[in-house]
Structure 1
């Protein structure tokens, strides 16, 4: 099995991991193990017991929930070098959402027991994990505000910007591997409305639509479109 330390450079491209003390980076990689998922494979389901902290190092993960009637709510689509699963580290409670591999993906898992042992020895590191969680909380508040106050078009543009910037983790990407149906689920707007807004942005030369992908051609003008 591949050594988790082989992914250090990838992870250091992320703002959270890259800012950690070297000793904590070393400890996380020493405790981690590589986990590979096939496309569509479930990592965990809402209600599952906490298993630890994950980092996406290859591929992408879909985070959301499915109702008893089979209706899906897609919250986010995350790619490398994104870390997730920290909420259950703090409260020890079951998982709050479902996580599935969007395509063939590789993760690093730092088991819950290893994290708790590390934090027992080095309690000063709790602040670093709190910063990871506070970043997610900040983004969640922003998304709620946008859902309540913004019309569909600027809300969609802002979400594209957030995804392109990997929710604050790592460098901006120009190609987003995201189907229009998934974007519609994230924003809780109809597929028809999503398609109409995307086609308008494409007609303006701001982006290009291909099957399962959205390529951003003009980031500055997309930022303008994100203004209400």
Structure 2
């Protein structure tokens, strides 16, 4: 199914103080990022260098982080809020946007360009008010070239994304729509397995029905029907612009077996 048409966010937005985020220091942001599985495993020397180079960056909802074709300017750690990763294509007089994923704390992005130096492959803009830590690519690459044994740690960030992408591609190809949707909800509730504490989960998911439909290549109607089935089973509560997971173990089991209704009897 073709991705649904969606309005593009406005580019070139000026910085604004109305970001719906509380006052945040760099230390507050690092406290969140340090709870991530990849960052927690880094050698102390690399941790120290990333913290030395990084600068906080704040985005208002809808504000661009980068666009496809932009020159690489950094790698980023998401500490608060979420980013849309999307791609656009023009077909005759129509422009269509495919929403690939949402990037949430404590995930990193932008590392592909660290390795190949090529322009950005996709668009990234703020789904909600965001707080990030930006590490500029040029000085980071220079430092890694002087300390080449740390390139392996950066490669592990890249391969982790590759594994997740291959899993998503397989699910998109072979799983029926209800199971695919449940798998995505479980992944989001588990923080895409990015927390060092694997038991850490999210009860509320900042994702709308429309966003889910676009990420999974489903119609809005199909997505709504599946969510209503999950709500009727007592595993999920559909709210305006977000979803509340009521029973993650049951939802996880249902995703594994493709079952959208609670067992009876």
Q: TM-score, normalised by structure 1?
A: 0.96
Unaligned ranges ≥5, structure 2: 1-22, 259-265
Give me the CA root mean square deviation: 1.4
Deviation at 1:5, TM superposition (A): 4.0
> How much has 1:105 moved relative to structure 2?
0.9
Q: CA contact under 8 A between 2:30 and 2:79: conserved in structure 1?
A: no
Matched-pair contact (CA < 8 Å) for 1:89–1:112 = yes
CA drift at 1:81: 1.3
Q: Deviations over 1:135-194 (max 9, x none)?
A: 110011101111111100010000111111222212321110000000000000111000
Q: Report what 1:100 is aligned to.
A: 125
Unpaired stretches in structure 1, ≥5 consecutive residues:
none
After superposition, the C-alpha distances for 1:56-90 in whole angstroms (9 at most, x for unaligned) are 11111111112233311111112111111101111
State the Cα distance separating 1:2 from its structure 2 match: 6.9
Q: Which residue of 1 aligns with 2:13?
A: none
Match of 1:206 among 232, 235, 243: 235
2:75 to 49, 53, 63: 53
Deviates more, 1:61-70 or 1:75-84: 61-70
- Of 110, 113, 134, which aligns to 2:159? 134
2 CA distance for matches of 1:153 and 1:21? 41
Q: Give how far 1:214 is off.
A: 0.7
Q: Does 1:150 align with 2:179?
A: no
**Alignment check: 8 A CA contact 2:29 2:131 kept:** no
Q: Which residue of 1 aligns with 2:46?
A: 24
Q: Which residue of 1 aligns with 2:248?
A: 219
- Give 1:96 shift: 0.6
Structure 2 Cα separation of the partners of residues 130 and 83 of structure 1: 13
Residues 1:85 and 1:194: Cα distance change in structure 2 (over 3 Å): same
Q: Does 1:164 align with 2:189?
A: yes
Q: Which residue of 1 aligns with 2:137?
A: 112
Q: CA deviation at 1:7?
A: 2.4
> How many angstroms apart in 2 are the aligned matches of 1:75 and 1:154?
18
Worse overlay, 87-96 or 60-69: 60-69
Number of residues of Structure 1 aligned to a counterpart in Structure 2: 228
Contact 1:56–1:81 (CA under 8 A) maintained in structure 2: yes
Looking at secondary structure, tell me which structure has more helix per residue: 1
Q: Deviations over 1:15-69 (max 9, x none)?
A: 0111111221111011011111111001111111111110111111111112233
Give the structure 1 partner of residue 65 of structure 2: 43
- For residues 106 and 168 of structure 2, the distance between their equivalents in structure 1, rounded to whole angstroms, comes to 21
Contact 1:37–1:105 (CA under 8 A) maintained in structure 2: yes
The 3-state SS of whatever aligns with 1:93 is coil
State which structure, 1 or 2, has the greater radius of gyration over its C-alpha atoms: 2
Is 1:89 matched up with 2:122?
A: no
**Off by >4 Å, runs of 4+ in structure 1:** none
